[in-house]
Amino acid sequence: MHNQAVNTNESVFKSFKRIWPYFENYRGRLFFALFLVLVQVVTNVLEPFVFGLIITEISSNVLDMINGTGTGLNYSYIYTVLIIYFVRGLLNQVSVFGANYFMTEAVQNMTFDLRKEITRKMNRLPVSYFDRHQFGNILNRITNDVDTISNAFQVTLVQAFNAILQLFFVVLMMLWIQWQFALVMLVVIPLSGYIAKFVIGYSQPYFKQQADVLGRMNGFVQENLSGFSEIKLYGRENYSNEEFRVITDRLNEVGFKASFISGLIRPLITFVAHAAYVVIALFGGLLTLAGRMTIGNLQAFTQYVWQINQPMQMLSQLSGLIQSASSSISRVFELLDEEDEIQTYSETLEEPLIGEVSFDNVSFSYVPEQPLIQDFDVDVASGETIAIVGPTGAGKTTMINLLMRFYDVDQGKITIDGKDIRNLSRQQYRTQFGMVLQDTWLFQGSIKENMRFGNLNATDEEIVEAAEVANVDHFIRTLPGGYDMEINQESSNISQGQKQLLTIARALLSDPKILILDEATSSVDTRLEALIQKAMDRLMEGRTSFVIAHRLSTIQDADRILVMKDGQIIEQGNHEELIEKGGFYNRLYQSQFEN
């Protein structure tokens, strides 16, 4: 366990070392804030000593008057010390305000840069990363973990530096006043530090587990809220509650251990401080009675005992926050350390693609020991409409993922106009594509802004023209605000079919050379289905199109239909040819219309 404690403390140090580069641009404000903390600590440490001067002088004057040798209180001296005391207090308060102000600026700017870096990283990650990780867990790293880091630095940098400086200067003052007593504190401080280090070594692994379980819980909640209707429909409330109970039980277990163990630091350190206080009060009183120590210095010395106890307690209170921040830093950098999507390329597109697509002996699997697509061959002419059909798991979506370079092939190659797509810039290559998916995506903003997402340079006239072609202009004009109407965050203030028409209009604005359509008319009424199909037909005119078909009635006019099963093309041809063959496609088609 000792080795675990050492490794834990090293991991905390490494975590904070990794975050330091994000402070580089703001180190001027950071160091000035720390300088003001120094001023704050010095003025704090001087308080008992300055106040002790007044007590000592008043005590001396009173004793002189009792002995008949004094004429009264030395008001000029007392007033001078009081002015010094007031100036010290003023400097203390100004430094407290300034330290908080400049530290807040540095930390908030650091957090802003960290979030920007995470956002840039998210855009560089491959699609496979998001397939492997729970969405809620990723979201937790971007929001909660970054907030934890920000809050920790906002509090710990100032307070931890304050505590360390206060310990240093208090020990100096104690050595100056009575070095023999100061040796007692030189034993207390390392003993308290060892206690804190030992306890942190036990609690840190639980803080890491707590952060991980919290991310898992957020992912669970996000998924269950998005699927709330299905949970109610299938009566899975008890199952969902039980799964949530298991997660929260685990969170309760590790959270209790993390908080309880780290919470032991404060009472243990306080016990050590009380023991030191008893020793100093007893022997200090004897020295004062013997005339070897002034009463003001005894008062100052006993206050310094508590001034040592306060920073030790402060560091113990901060230990939980520091450990949580260390765990959050580790989780954030796990994301930032992920490998970027490969961006190397040897060719650039000097002109728009024609749209000739070829899959040449392609093999691919998501998991090495589970082959999905093997020796896949197909050639698609420019302007051809290819429908892809087959049972679930046949490889239809995988084929599109490979074409879009969301994943790269394991063997073989995919070429566009004779160019191996692995030699092209992903970003430039993907600008040649337009996608209309079954799961429509619109963001919170106006209808006009959502449509312009397909072409940021599109004019208002071009937006209206695309809407007219997509059969959605009339619907938009009936809405309050028309093209300026705000779509809410869940896109629930317009219907599914209307969302589909908007995505078609958006794709039209991008003027793609190759289209990928995940046919999505099954969830709309007959009238809207006809409108959507008509809009999709207009969208496909003159463009190479790949249509993942779920309802075979919508692809009867496709130039060619690829029938896939187990990652292979088992049949291909147009609708009439495949029906005449009486094979798998015919059975699939008849099963949809047998009623």
At 290, the amino acid letter reads A
Cα 579 to Cα 547, 562, 584, distances in angstroms: 19, 13, 9
Burial class of residue 67, CB neighbours in 10 A (0-12, 13-18, 19+): exposed
Burial class of residue 487, CB neighbours in 10 A (0-12, 13-18, 19+): buried
- 172 phi/psi in degrees, rounded to 5: -60, -45
pLDDT at 469: 84
- 443 phi/psi in degrees, rounded to 5: -105, 165
Tokens of 389: 């059909």
Task: Give CA–CA dist 292/59, Å, rounded.
Answer: 15
| CB of 196 closer than 8 Å to CB of 315 | yes
What are residue 362's DSSP bridge partners? 376
pLDDT at 250: 85
The sign one gets for the Cα dihedral 103, 109, 112, 114 is: negative
Cα 430 to Cα 367, 403, 416, 510, 592, distances in angstroms: 25, 10, 12, 11, 35
What are residue 389's DSSP bridge partners? 563
Task: Look at the chain and count its residues.
Answer: 595
| CB of 389 closer than 8 Å to CB of 555 | yes
The string of DSSP letters for 138-172 reads HHHIIIIIHHHHHHHHHHHHHHHHHHHHHHHHHHH
Beta pairing class for 357-364 and 373-380? antiparallel
The rounded average pLDDT for each run of 10 residues, N- to C-terminus, in the chain (595 residues) is 48 75 86 88 78 75 70 77 85 88 89 89 83 77 85 81 79 74 68 71 74 76 68 71 83 82 73 71 70 68 70 69 80 86 76 86 84 86 88 82 87 90 85 80 84 86 87 85 82 77 84 79 60 77 84 80 86 88 85 65
| CB of 569 closer than 8 Å to CB of 378 | yes
pLDDT at 4: 45
Question: ∠ CA 61-63-68 to the nearest 5 degrees?
Answer: 95
Q: In whole angstroms, what separates CA 304 from the centre of its chain?
A: 43
Other C-beta atoms within 10 Å of 526: how many? 8
The string of DSSP letters for 21-66 reads GGGGGGHHHHHHHHHHHHHHHHHHHHHHHHHHHHHHHHHHHHHHHH
